[in-house]
Amino acid sequence: MSSAQETTFLKDSAAKAFDMRHRQIINYNIDKYDVAVQSGLLQFQHLENAKRKAHIIKWKVMENLDKLLPEFESNFLRKGGKVIWANDAEEARQEIWKIMERSGAKTVVKSKSMTTEEIELNHFFEGKGVKTVESDLGEYIVQLLNQKPYHIVTPAMHLSLQDIAALFHQHFGTPPDATAQDLTLQARKLLREQYTAADVGITGANFLIADTGSIALTENEGNARLTTTFPKIHIAIVGIEKVIPSLADLDLFWPLLATHGTGQRLTVYNSIIGGPRQEGETDGPEEMYVVLLDNGRTDLLAQKEQRQGLYCIRCGACLNGCPIYKNVGGHTYNTTYSGPIGSIITPHLRGMEAFKHLSYASSLCGKCTEVCPVKIDIHQMLLLNRRDAVASNIVSKSEKATWKGFTFAMTKRWVVDLLGGKLKNILLSRFFKKAWGKRRNLPFVAPKSFAQQWKAKDKAD
């Protein structure tokens, strides 16, 4: 059974895969990333040991989530912060809106956050007449284009410098041939006013630290620091899987995230925020809220074999390594989390029937598993999703019949050898000519079967 999502994905990906300009931009940007990562990883004396340790810590987190989240909550409350538990996206939006209404807030400035994309917060605010400005440069660019982020780390990866210069020229009158430095300065000038004027600052969090009751933010532009400093209210929206046991764990996770995310030894700005402004402090909000978002995560947690998907630290390495992503791009997935990690978690977060097709959008080359800094067995998770789709009886009758016939033939040699090579060629050319798409020719079988060729060779010897 094909869902509307699957039909759209197949159509869009077929078009995007042969968009040569798109491929050129993505390959250029990912090639730069690969060079940077190769250099950044040299800081680790024992990279595999670091990745294994990170995997074990995240495993312990998932086994003890019911203890670590209340620990975070109690420590955060002790510092004057407030915690909101949200079961789904609608509940998260409504709880945030209550804060906005209570404070009379009309303007919002946001730092980069995939969880806000997940709950479609900007669209919700737009319907309420609230002005929302993205402060991350990449997010700001795609907001101007009225697009979703293309990549979970670099939202505007699909755009060239010329594209962005033309966009800024259209909106702000900058020179059409402006340099990257000129564009950055223009964006900084425009965004600086937003920080001081906004009523509410909204962020995500890279990690929730249980033993200190703090959130950890890592960024390269400083926009998150400004977002959390000037507005009177700071709201952090964080998935429940982001918790880590101790502040000391950042010594491992921050370098892993930086090197696998952008190739840096350490990201430029790293902040630990443990509540609203305290007595004697000059910076920070008067109120701080952390929204702990479930939105399907406990459904994935219940899948013992596939809960590894919740180990993800959102570095984006699997996207950059995936040959499918590099050809079809981020927007074709039509999900918040694209690429291999999105393909394994989205069917659980948003429904297997609608998004099972993403688990088939893979060559199973294993590159995603190889580059993952927390050693998620991603390609195995893709296979398990495929298994679950079949077990749930949400695949088409023709697909089931095809595989049943294939299994029967492959397990009984005489069936394969029943027809000669010439007849097989005729059947393939007439009934399966378009099986590989309109841009490729189906390879025909040899005139003689392998068994026949082997017997002939044996006689000749």
Considering 49-53, 195-199, 362-366, the range whose residues carry the highest mean pLDDT is 49-53
Least confident interval from 292-301, 350-359, 376-385, 427-436 = 427-436
pLDDT attached to residue 414: 83
- Give this prediction's pTM: 0.91
Mean pLDDT over each residue of the chain, to the nearest integer: 93
pLDDT band at 2 (very low <50, low <70, confident <90, very high): low
Residue 316 has pLDDT above 70, yes or no: yes
For the segment 421-448, the average pLDDT, to the nearest whole number, is: 75
47-82 per-residue burial string, b: 16 or more CB within 10 A, e: under 16: eeebbebbbebbeebbeebeebbebbbebbeeeebb
Q: Are 133 and 140 in contact (CB under 8 A)?
A: yes
Residues 6+ apart with CB under 8 A from 458: none
> Beta strands of 180-316 (E only): which ranges?
200-203, 207-209, 214-219, 233-239, 243-244, 269-273, 287-293
SS3 391: helix
For the segment 106-121, the average pLDDT, to the nearest whole number, is: 96
SS3 204: coil
Residue 1 has pLDDT above 60, yes or no: no
pLDDT by residue (tens digit) across 325-361? 999 999 999 999 999 999 999 999 999 999 999 999 9
Torsion angle defined by CA atoms of residues 220, 111, 37 and 384, in that order, rounded to the nearest 10 degrees: 170
Q: What percent of the chain has pLDDT over 90?
A: 79
pLDDT by residue (tens digit) across 235-247? 999 999 999 999 9
SS3 406: helix
pLDDT attached to residue 436: 73
Residue 445 has pLDDT above 70, yes or no: no
Side-by-side strand order, sheet with 214-219: 243-244, 207-209, 214-219, 269-273
Residue 212 has pLDDT above 70, yes or no: yes
